[in-house]
Structure formats: structure tokens, C-alpha cells
Amino acid sequence: MQMLYDSESFVVVHVLPDAELQGMATEEQAKAVPVLPADVPVLTRHGFEIVDKRSGKEVYLDGSWAELFQQHIAAWQANTPTQEEVEDTLDRYAELAQNPVVLH
């Protein structure tokens, strides 16, 4: 997981379930992750978790939603947006949030 954004209103995390397979894990992380047999399926899709701190709800974007959000991130990297522009975009995605944030 990689924290992309954290403000008073939102948190955005990029979830990379196959990071170890892509060589992104540190040596310490690689030692801590058990090696799975070749016949065990591995999730290869990434996603984004957006938490709306104001409502206490979160939404997980994967598939085509994650691709669309990735395009927003690429545009933000090319044209540095204001915090208000970022928050407006996240607010639109947060409308999809139905799941309450629960800590285990």
C-alpha cells in the first residue's frame, strides 16, 4: 500500500496486492511474506481506497474505476492542481462510498 493523499477530509491509498511479484518490495518485506506455491492464484489488480473522513465511509476502486482514477492522478502530476481541485474530485468519488470505516 502507498499513501497518496491525506488531508482533513480525505485519505487516498494505492493498493498494490502484487507489489512483491513486481519487485517493489524491500528485502525486509520480501522475507516477511511467505512464498506461495505456483498453483495458488495471486491477485494482480491494483486499486485505490478513498476514505471520506467527514462521513466515516470508504470506497474501494478497482477495474475500470481504478483506471479512471489513475488518469486523474496522471493529470494531477502533469498539471499540479490546487487542494480545492483535488478535494472536489475526491468528493465526487466519495459519493460512491457506502462502506463505513471499521478498524479491526
Give the pLDDT score at 36.
54
Quick: pLDDT tens for 60-88: 999 899 999 999 999 999 999 999 999 99
Quick: pLDDT tens for 10-60: 999 998 876 444 555 455 545 555 555 565 555 567 899 999 999 999 999
b/e for 68-100, b at 16 or more Cβ within 10 A?
ebeebbeeeeeeeeeeeebbebbeebbeebeee
Q: Is the pLDDT higher at 83 or at 1?
A: 83
pLDDT at position 9 over 80:
yes
* Euclidean distance between CA atoms 61 and 95, whole angstroms: 12
* Euclidean distance between CA atoms 38 and 62, whole angstroms: 25
Give the pLDDT score at 21.
47
Give the pLDDT score at 98.
82
Global pTM reads 0.71
Q: Single out the residue of 6, 15, 104 nearest to residue 51, CA to CA.
A: 6
* Euclidean distance between CA atoms 73 and 54, whole angstroms: 22
Tell me the three cell numbers of residue 48: 485505490
